[in-house]
Amino acid sequence: MATNADPAPTKKPRNSRKALKQKNELVETPPSPVSVKGKSAKSFEQDLMEMQTMLEKMKIEKDKTEELLKEKDEILRKKEEELETRDAEQEKLKVELKKLQKMKEFKPNMTFACGQSSLTQAEQEKANKKKKKDCPETKRPSSSYVLWCKDQWTEVKKENPEADFKETSNILGAKWKSLSAEDKKPYEERYQVEKEAYLQVIAKEKREKEAMKLLEDDQKQRTAMELLDQYLNFVQEAEQDNKKKNKKEKDPLKPKHPVSAFLVYANERRAALREENKSVVEVAKITGEEWKNLSDKKKAPYEKVAKKNKETYLQAMEEYKRTKEEEALSQKKEEEELLKLHKQEALQMLKKKEKTDNLIKKEKATKKKKNENVDPNKPKKPASSYFLFSKDERKKLTEERPGTNNATVTALISLKWKELSEEEKQVYNGKAAKLMEAYKKEVEAYNKKSAATTSS
């Protein structure tokens, strides 16, 4: 009975859609039972049938929704699995991150020249700037105009007390323009003197810098090797105590932070609360709550203690800072001494380099002189047979295939020469022999001539 009411229930995707439609139809057709009441019993059987089919349909519907639910469950499960794997991945990443962070703590007792150079560059710049401020000879000299301005400023200000900076500048500018060359001369001279001194200082610094760079370059290799060694050691150690928590190394002498009023209170309450078997977290929560509700009057004693703590902390901190500064100062001095030593070493190196450079230069110069000393009139050696062939062939080849590069052309010539028959070679050999004869005659004549000039 019910089977014919159901068109095709077993397949899923399409049916589920149909099921929905059917459901809607069902919802839309409720008047039948209502009308049943009003109408006679003769349609009762019909109603029963209808209800049965309805029931059947609902059953199917239920099955389908159950199936749908199952599918949903499946999807959810998959999602959960995905999340879990993602969590695992995150955990992995965390571990990696921790490793990386650990790597950050790699503190070799030296720095490689690369990093060093960038570091020292920044440091040097800073130091240089500070130096400029500290000692006047490294300061860029003021121009003659500025020097003159310094002299004239107060005077102009006296004459024009109302004038502000801009106006005073304008007056000075006008005055300077009207000044004769002679009046400007002393300032110009002063500027030149200062400039000269400044340039010397700069040149010296530049030279020292160069020398230091040389030294650095030289040390780079050695440093790199040692650094590599240290790094490898570090990696090994890092892997060994990877499980151990790695906290920053702290200065044990540094005074500890003062305990706040709340912490004083919490510490006092802790013992009692722990006796009540409260957990750590509970204790924290309870003390926090209690502290919030505590009146100012009751808080006062704890605050007093905290205040005292802070005072002693500040005192200790001051003392600590002082000793630290002293340490830093002595260390700085040491470093400066070392730098001096390095500088000397570097300068020596530079001298050595300059010496060798000079030697090379000299050698080159003497070679050049030798060449220059050679009489340009002295007959030149004649071209060989291959040279003559090459000249001809090169011309031909470049005409035949323009754009071919020289190296290829030369290679081709060489090949062709090797493939050349004896007869063909003989042509070039003959030409070369003739040239050689002519050359010999020229040399004879030249020798006679030079002998005559030198004897006279």
Partner DNA sequence: AACGCCACTCGTGGTACCGG
Partner DNA sequence: CCGGTACCACGAGTGGCGTT
Q: Which residues bind DNA (CB under 7 A)?
A: 125, 129-130, 132, 139-143, 145-146, 165-166, 169-170, 248, 250, 256-263, 266-267, 270, 274, 279-281, 283-285, 288, 291-292, 310, 314, 317
Residue 321 Cβ vs DNA, minimum distance, rounded to whole Å:
8
Both tokens of 301, joined, read 């004693």
CA distance linking residue 243 with residue 237, whole number of Å: 11
Nearer to DNA, 107 or 166 (CB): 166
Nearer to DNA, 78 or 132 (CB): 132
Residue 125 Cβ vs DNA, minimum distance, rounded to whole Å:
6
Closest CA to 412 of 393, 384, 391, 437: 393
Residue 210 Cβ vs DNA, minimum distance, rounded to whole Å:
21
Both tokens of 38, joined, read 């009003």
Nearer to DNA, 140 or 222 (CB): 140
Nearer to DNA, 213 or 270 (CB): 270
Nearer to DNA, 229 or 318 (CB): 318
Tell me the DSSP string of 366-422: HHHHHHHHS-TTSPPPPPPHHHHHHHHHHHHHHHHSTT--HHHHHHHHHHHHHH--H
Residue 262 Cβ vs DNA, minimum distance, rounded to whole Å:
4
The helix/strand count (H/E) of the chain reads as 14, 0
Residue 255 Cβ vs DNA, minimum distance, rounded to whole Å:
9
Residue 250 Cβ vs DNA, minimum distance, rounded to whole Å:
6
Nearer to DNA, 145 or 386 (CB): 145
Residue 302 Cβ vs DNA, minimum distance, rounded to whole Å:
11
- Tokens 């080849």 locate to 397
Q: Do the Cβ atoms of 133 and 118 come closer than 8 Å?
A: no
Nearer to DNA, 298 or 367 (CB): 298
Q: Do the Cβ atoms of 5 and 12 come closer than 8 Å?
A: no
Closest CA to 14 of 74, 64, 71, 75: 64
Quickly count: other Cβ atoms within 10 Å of residue 431's Cβ. 16
CA distance linking residue 149 with residue 143, whole number of Å: 10
Nearer to DNA, 171 or 214 (CB): 171
Residue 99 Cβ vs DNA, minimum distance, rounded to whole Å:
17
Nearer to DNA, 272 or 360 (CB): 272
Both tokens of 404, joined, read 């071919």
Residue 281 Cβ vs DNA, minimum distance, rounded to whole Å:
5
Q: What's the Cα-to-Cα distance from 363 to each of 112, 351, 360, rounded to whole Å?
A: 37, 18, 5
CA distance linking residue 229 with residue 235, whole number of Å: 10
Residue 267 Cβ vs DNA, minimum distance, rounded to whole Å:
6
Q: What's the Cα-to-Cα distance from 92 to each of 72, 98, 240, rounded to whole Å?
A: 30, 10, 18
CA distance linking residue 253 with residue 321, whole number of Å: 11
Both tokens of 100, joined, read 């990386």
Nearer to DNA, 278 or 416 (CB): 278
Q: Do the Cβ atoms of 383 and 391 come closer than 8 Å?
A: yes
Instruction: Please give the DSSP secondary-structure letter assigned to residue 162.
Output: T
